[in-house]
Structure 1
Amino acid sequence: MRQVVLDTETTGLDPKSGHRIIEIGCVELINRKLTGRHYHQYVNPQRQVEDGAIEVHGITNEFLADKPVFAQIADEFMHFCEGAELVIHNAPFDVGFINAELRLLGNPRWKNVAAHSTVLDTLALAREKHPGQKNNLDALCKRYFVDNSQRDLHGALLDAEILADVYLMMTGGQTDLILAQGGDGHNQEDGDKGQNEDTSSVIRRLSTDREPLLVVQADRGELEAHQSMLALLEKSSGKHFW
């Protein structure tokens, strides 16, 4: 299974108002393992970046002046994503901007994201797993002990790398975790409020050379024992919660 964890930075919040993509960052996962392949590109939006957006990502109009326009990088970017499941935090935002760029491109080869890839929205997934809690990327880093200490400003490639780690932890964890010095990685989860800010037990960035997760299926005896326990709990409580 090939997945591409993707993030963008933009000139503003709404492509319907003419806002454009200014940075794209992608990292590749195959069978839940980081491959080390990535795609990263700054893009000249051919318009001004809003001041509020610059405060978020720090990417200025002067910096973007000599960067290629989207039409010049579209083929390389879309070929990198083609056929993969795109893993995106708040996917409607990024997909909306990419589709807007593709419409402006007018290239029949690239119609829209859905024509070339499937999409998994990690924000929707996080809200399902942690209802009523903060589920932005920084909050998820705290919850899953993923190091985001370098994230002073938003950046598409860094955010994609961090999201890859968060996604893997949120959907089953990884093997061969690299821990910070002096920590054992076993802090108690306590939601988004009042969390321990000590980074001594924060998991560092996950390595790309670790073994993929081993999936162990329950055997027949284990399944029968599980059903027996559920029946016992139902009988003793008078309720069935499973």
Structure 2
Amino acid sequence: MRQIVMDTETTGIDPREGHRIIEIGGVELINRRFTGRTYHQYINPEREIEAEAIEIHGITNQRVANEPVFAQIADELWEFIRGAQLVIHNAPFDVGFFDHEFRLLNAARGEPLLGPIAEHCSVLDTLKLAREMHPGQRNSLDALCKRYAIDNGHRVLHGALLDSEILADVYLAMTGGQTALSLAGSEEGSRETGGASGIRRIDRAATPLVVLRPSDAEWEAHRQRLDQIRQSAGQCHWDALGSAENTH
């Protein structure tokens, strides 16, 4: 199964108000393993970035002024995501922006060439999944990192590729269970379990088995108890041990 864990940064929160994508990050997983393939691109949104958005992701208008516009990177992006399952935290937000960008592109080209996402990719929303797994709790990416012991100490501002990499670790930890355990303790398995290193075996020196034999008084008490069982039940399966008694 091919999955792309994705994140975007944008000029604002609503594409219906003309806001655009300014950064895209994606990490490829196949059969729940990192392949090493990633996608990362800054984009010139052809409009101003809101100050509130800059406070979140730190991407300024000057930073993206000389980056390509979406139309210039759309085909490469489409080839990277097409046919995959997209794993996104708060997926309606990112998918809404992608579909908006593809609609603008198709209108400029004069025909519907790319998108919408739902017709070519399946989408897994990790925020929805987290709310189902942890109802009533905080389920932001930072909160999930803390819950699953994923190191995000290097995450000061939001960044699309960094957030995608962190989300991939969180997603695998959320959904892996025992099937993600790496018996070999390999680097790949370690990453899949959010830092687990597999099974650690304890090397313990062998010690001789100590056998404690009953005393004469204990044997006598045992025989008396068997007599009581025979009197009340008519038989006693402990009789089969008579030979063992005689060897005492």
TM over 0.5: yes
- In 2, the alpha carbon distance for the partners of 1:206 and 1:73 equals 30
- In 2, the alpha carbon distance for the partners of 1:56 and 1:112 equals 27
- In 2, the alpha carbon distance for the partners of 1:152 and 1:102 equals 30
Are residues 1:120 and 2:105 paired?
Answer: no
| Partner residue in 1 for 2:145 | 141
- In 1, the alpha carbon distance for the partners of 2:42 and 2:115 equals 22
The higher radius of gyration belongs to 2
1:183-222 alignment, distance < 5 Å: 206=191
| Partner residue in 2 for 1:10 | 10
> Secondary structure at 2:155's aligned position in 1?
coil
**1:108 CA displacement:** 1.8
| Partner residue in 2 for 1:23 | 23
Give the 4+ runs in structure 1 shifted more than 4 A: 176-179
User: For the structure 1 residues 28 and 92, does the alpha-carbon distance in structure 2 shift closer, same or farther, using more than 3 Å as the test?
Assistant: same
- In 1, the alpha carbon distance for the partners of 2:172 and 2:80 equals 20
Structure 1: 5+ residue stretches without partners: 180-204, 214-242
**1:178 CA displacement:** 8.4
| Partner residue in 2 for 1:47 | 47
- In 1, the alpha carbon distance for the partners of 2:191 and 2:48 equals 36
Counterpart code for 1:145: A
User: For the structure 1 residues 75 and 139, does the alpha-carbon distance in structure 2 shift closer, same or farther, using more than 3 Å as the test?
Assistant: same
Structure 2: 5+ residue stretches without partners: 199-248
- In 1, the alpha carbon distance for the partners of 2:56 and 2:145 equals 18
Aligned-residue Cα RMSD (Å) equals: 2.1
**1:80 CA displacement:** 0.2
- In 2, the alpha carbon distance for the partners of 1:149 and 1:22 equals 24
TM-score normalised per structure 2: 0.71
User: For the structure 1 residues 149 and 178, does the alpha-carbon distance in structure 2 shift closer, same or farther, using more than 3 Å as the test?
Assistant: farther
Give the aligned length: 185
**Which is bigger in relative contact order (C-alpha 8 A, separation at least 6)?**
1
